[in-house]
Amino acid sequence: MEITNNHANSPVNQAETEDRYRNIIEVMRDGIIVQAANGQILECNAEAGFIFGMPVKEITARTFLKPQWEPIKENGEPFDVMKHPALVALQTGNSVSDVIIRVTRPDHRKIWLNISSRPLFKPGQTRPYGVVSSFRDITAWKEADQNLKKERNLLATVIEGSTEAIYVKDREGRFLLANKVYVDLLGITQDEIIGHTTEELWPQQTSLLLKKSDEMVIETGQSQTYEVPITDHEGKLHIFLTTKDPYRDSQGNVIGIIGISRDITNRKKVENLKNDFIATVSHELRTPLTAIMGSLGLLTSGAAGSLPDQARQMAEVAYRNSERLLGLINDILDFEKIEAGKMTFDFRPQDLRALVEDTITINQPLSNQGKINLILEPDDLPDQPLVMADKNRLVQVLTNLLSNAIKFSPAGSEVRVRLDCVKKGFKVTVTDQGPGIPLEFRNQIFNKFAQADSSSTRRMGGTGLGLSIAKAIIENHGGEIGFNSRVGQGSAFFFEIPTFDKNKVL
């Protein structure tokens, strides 16, 4: 044993031990600094020099942090250099761990450090003769943490500032999050919601409905959207449009649900008022107006006997105005059907050329009245160009294009109709010699209530719904509608519709 101890304490082995420890320190990813009791830096490793942006030789012989390092704490307050972990360890004889400060390097770069210090004692002594400090650059982590906090604060602000009720539940239905809108519905505090289930917070009938949709999202992993009636803590009934999505962990497992509920109570009231208005227009206006038009038609045709010229002219004016009013009513009703997705179509094979010819005949009186020459150009279509279409709806579209062309064309001009074969079917084009469409209006022309010139529209009549309705009808036929126009030279409106494929008909 004596030989072994003598061997261990030999100068050669002591040098080997020191060399071994120095190599260990040099390969460490932490900066290491050894200081004497007076604070003088005796040694440091290469990593310390890298972190501080200084040569190792310039670090040794220095002391503790000086003011030019501008140390600050995490809360932004100045850091008292007398509380540096190394100095505290020397003064108290106790280790100090994980002190986080920001310093400014000599190159003016600001870095965050995590510092731990341990006092060094000689055998049998209670007063440290030195201190060793390890530290690492945590700037990247700190910046990432600060960015994460900013994102969390932003998300929290968005959630709390939202006008929609937002909430998160776990698989057992316990609330993990609920924003102010949801809290206000229940009339309790957020602390009274978090950790509780739907059954504990809502009446039985409401909770059963909400729980059922929660379970559906969790079981299927699919979103659910539905309308749900909710009575708040004051007894007021609300209608919510609710969307629930699966809440997943990093592995994609469903661990709960995320819900967003929008109060659509007022919207539902408006929809009900609109439906009542549509019903009134349909039953209280259109039906008697149709009867009035029938009577006026009999008078103007002479079926009820001849009328004096002045009376006949008045009857004709009344008939035309009634016809225009009925057209407006029909446009409003059609548009409402389109908005509600309730417009029905009776698709059957139709001869497109015959349909176009019939529509031109129907609109001939209007062109004669405006002294417009309505022309169907020769075509190279098959003998019977068939399309799968709702005849009445397609006539409605073509009538709209023809009537617009006629109304906005100068007397003595031409409105030409052309049929062509295109890649997917047939194309019908209506070309006029009118004023054309202003550039600033072209991207709005198929919008509802769109009118390029309100003064001319009032003169010519119309709701601004015709082209919007025509677009919806053509799209329901699987086709497209568009136009070309030059200001001062006229416009060409067209629609394309697929060829009838008998192989696709059951």
Using one digit for the tens of pLDDT, what is the confidence trace for 458-467?
A: 445 556 788 8
Domain shared by 190 and 308, yes or no: no
Q: Are residues 69 and 188 in the same domain?
A: no
Report the chain's mean pLDDT, rounded to a whole number: 85
Residue 307 Cα distances to 304, 310, 320, angstroms: 9, 8, 17
Give a yes or no: residue 378 inside a domain: yes
Tens digit of pLDDT for each residue in 168-188?
999 999 999 999 999 988 888
Does residue 370 share a domain with residue 305? no
- Give kind and range of the element (H or E) at residue 42: strand 41-44
The last residue of one of the domains, among 263, 293, 315, is 263
Tokens coding 499: 């060829």
| Amino acid letter, residue 333 | L
Give 480's pLDDT tier (boundaries 50, 70, 90). very high
Query: How many beta carbons lie within 10 A of that of residue 6, not counting itself?
Result: 10
For residue 440, the model assigns a pLDDT of 83
CA dist., res. 437 & res. 441, Å (int) = 7
Does residue 365 share a domain with residue 314? Answer: no
Residues 58 and 134 in one domain: yes
Mark whether 38 and 131 lie in a shared domain.
yes
Domain assignment present for residue 375? The answer is yes
Taking the C-alpha atoms of residue 61 and residue 40, their distance in angstroms, rounded to an integer, is: 6
pLDDT at residue 353, rounded to an integer: 93
The separation between CA 56 and the C-alpha centre of its own chain, rounded to angstroms, equals: 55
C-alpha angle 345-347-353 in degrees, rounded to nearest 5: 115
The kind and range of the H/E element at 426 are strand 425-431
Does any domain span residue 156? no
Quick check: is 108 in a domain? yes
Question: Does residue 285 sit within a domain?
Answer: yes
CA dist., res. 261 & res. 167, Å (int) = 9
Range scoring the smallest mean pLDDT among 82-96, 272-286, 469-483? 272-286
At 65, is the pLDDT very low, low, confident or very high (cuts 50, 70, 90)? Answer: low
How much is the pLDDT for 338? 77
Residues 232 and 282 in one domain: no
The reply to whether 35 and 167 lie within a common domain is: no
Instruction: Give the C-alpha separation, 370 to 407, whole Å.
Output: 7
* Residue 146 lies inside a defined structural domain of this protein: no
Written as six digits, the tokens of 323 are 């016809």
Domain match, 459 and 472 both: yes
pLDDT score at 461: 55
By DSSP bridging, strand 414-422 and strand 41-44 are: unpaired
Last residue of a domain, one of 213, 240, 263: 263
Q: Is residue 15 part of a domain?
A: yes
Domain with 188 in it: 162-263
Do 334 and 389 lie in one domain? The reply is no
The total number of structural domains in the chain stands at 4
Looking at the fold, whether 113 and 12 belong to one and the same domain comes out as yes
Question: Which of 9-18, 358-367, 427-436 holds the top average pLDDT?
Answer: 427-436
Q: Is 322 inside a domain boundary?
A: yes
Q: Could you say which of 306, 340, 374 is where a domain stops?
A: 340
Shared domain for 398 and 466, answered yes or no, is yes
Rounded distance between C-alpha atoms, residue 42 and residue 18, angstroms: 15
* Residue 234 in this model has a pLDDT that exceeds 90: no
Residue 103 and residue 71 in contact, taking contact as beta carbons nearer than 8 Å: yes
Question: pLDDT tens digits, residue range 333-344?
Answer: 777 777 777 788
Check which CATH number belongs to the domain holding 190 and give it.
Answer: 3.30.450.20
Cβ distance 203 to 210 under 8 Å? no
